[in-house]
Amino acid sequence: MSRLDSFIRRMTAQRDILDHVCTEVAKMEGPVVELGLGNGRTFHHLRERLPGRRIVAFDRALAAHASSIPEAENLVLGEIRETASRFIGIDAALVHADIGTGYEDLDAVTSTWLPDLIARLLRVGGIAVSGTPLDHPQLQRLPPPPSVPADRYFVCRRV
């Protein structure tokens, strides 16, 4: 598969999963945490799907499109492992993490700390969506929507 095909599949999976979980998240109290603001496309999508919801976005540096920049109080810059730890207990209804690199060795390092961080950011019953695996005793794997190939994206509930 070409990288373009793979990119299109990833974007489609991301959109389908976010739409899928937003139906449930809309009924749940708690902010949304966006780990990896990047260009801000998924932030923009979540803002549309969950109007009025607080979305706190994290990245190393601001590189988002002007239309997709959170309010200053909801933008946190720096290394996510450190910055997001300061938000443990925020009781998020949704944590979306899009910080995979496509390099197995780098993503393996992320997998050593990201699942536990996400488990601590979420409220009980909250949903995690991630491009990298979330192996953690408090994160119960949920099936993705049928349009998403297995092991492409990971959806979990905080138990």
CA–CA dist 67, 5 (Å, integer): 27
Query: In the stretch 59-98, what mask flags binding to ligand SAM with x, by CB under 6 A?
Result: xx--x---------------xxx----------------x
Residue whose structure tokens are 């499109």: 65
**Which of 55, 99, 139, 156 contacts ligand SAM by CB under 6 A?**
99
Instruction: Please provide residue 101's backbone torsions phi and psi, each rounded to the nearest 5 degrees.
Output: -110, -15
Find the distance separating the first CA and the last CA of the chain, reported in whole Å.
36
Q: Which two tokens stand for residue 94?
A: 């949704």
Query: In the stretch 22-61, what mask flags binding to ligand SAM with x, by CB under 6 A?
Result: --------------x-xxxxx----------------xx-
CA–CA dist 114, 5 (Å, integer): 27
Q: How many CB atoms lie within 10 A of CB 20?
A: 20
Q: Which CB sits closer to ligand SAM, 102 or 125?
A: 102
Q: Which CB sits closer to ligand SAM, 79 or 135?
A: 79
Residues at the contact surface with ligand SAM, assessed by CB under 6 A: 36, 38-42, 59-60, 63, 79-81, 98-99
